[in-house]
């Protein structure tokens, strides 16, 4: 397995773990809860992906992913007070995680033999489920439900990755393309409030 794949996978786990631990700091939780939230956020999406693909769960076979979450939790526990605008940091850490996992989720699905459409869906799930679980458990406003682009970024990143990979480009080129698109869209959502057109309610029709 190329080292860049490992790097991107660990990056996604680490930054999502940071976002989970930052929520724990905002909620003034204890160290054990920091570890729980960091792990839930960091490995939750990949766990769902592996279960749906009926393959071994990645962090059980390779425990260093779980160790990464716990190390991140400890570091954030002792340093979170240094950062004054933790919610902004959480948003950007989450954005990096979404970009990384949209690519890795799709890549793992393709390697398992799934078709391109399933790979895109798995990229979206991997990128969004950990953050969704984090927000629900902590009774936080769910990021995926905010108006600005979120799940769309994961879909776009996974789609670009799958499309470029289908052209037989190298993993690094495909991954950088998918990551860049997903992160750029999420950055636009955070900074400029980019959204897709929302559904507008319309009056119902009267039937005689």
Q: What is the 3-state secondary structure (H, E, C) of 40-93?
A: HHHHHHHHHHHHHCCCCCHHHHCCHHHHHHHHHHHHHHHHHHHCCCHHHHHHHH
| Tens of pLDDT, residues 51-95 | 999 999 999 999 999 999 999 999 999 998 887 677 888 899 999
Q: Taking 90 as the threshold, does the pLDDT of residue 5 lie above it?
A: no
Cα(131)–Cα(99) distance, rounded to whole angstroms?
Answer: 13
Question: What pLDDT band is residue 103 in, cutting at 50, 70 and 90?
Answer: very high
Question: What pLDDT band is residue 1 in, cutting at 50, 70 and 90?
Answer: very low
Domain range list for the chain:
3-192
For residue 174, give Cα distances in angstroms to 98, 100, 110, 188.
16, 12, 13, 21
Q: Taking 60 as the threshold, does the pLDDT of residue 2 lie above it?
A: no
| Tens of pLDDT, residues 129-188 | 999 999 999 998 888 888 889 999 999 999 999 999 999 999 999 999 999 999 999 999
């Amino acid at each position: 397995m190329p080292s860049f794949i490992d790097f991107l996978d660990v990056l996604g786990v680490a930054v999502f773990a940071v976002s989970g631990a930052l929520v724990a700091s905002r909620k003034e939780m204890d160290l054990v809860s920091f570890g729980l939230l960091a792990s839930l956020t960091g490995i939750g999406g990949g766990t769902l992906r592996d279960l749906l693909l009926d393959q071994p769960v990645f962090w059980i076979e390779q425990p260093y992913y779980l160790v990464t979450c716990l190390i991140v939790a400890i570091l954030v526990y002792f340093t979170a007070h240094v950062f004054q605008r933790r919610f902004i940091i959480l948003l950007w850490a989450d954005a990096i995680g979404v970009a990384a996992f949209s690519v890795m989720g799709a890549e793992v699905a393709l390697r398992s033999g799934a078709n391109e459409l399933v790979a895109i869906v798995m990229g979206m799930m991997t990128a969004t489920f950990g953050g969704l679980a984090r927000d629900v458990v902590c009774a936080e406003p769910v990021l995926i439900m905010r108006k600005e682009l979120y799940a769309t970024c994961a879909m776009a990143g996974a789609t670009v990755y799958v499309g470029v990979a289908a052209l037989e480009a190298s993993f690094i080129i495909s991954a950088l393309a998918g990551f860049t698109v997903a992160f750029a869209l999420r950055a636009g959502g955070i900074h400029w409030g980019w959204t897709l057109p929302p559904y507008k309610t319309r009056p119902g029709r009267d039937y005689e």
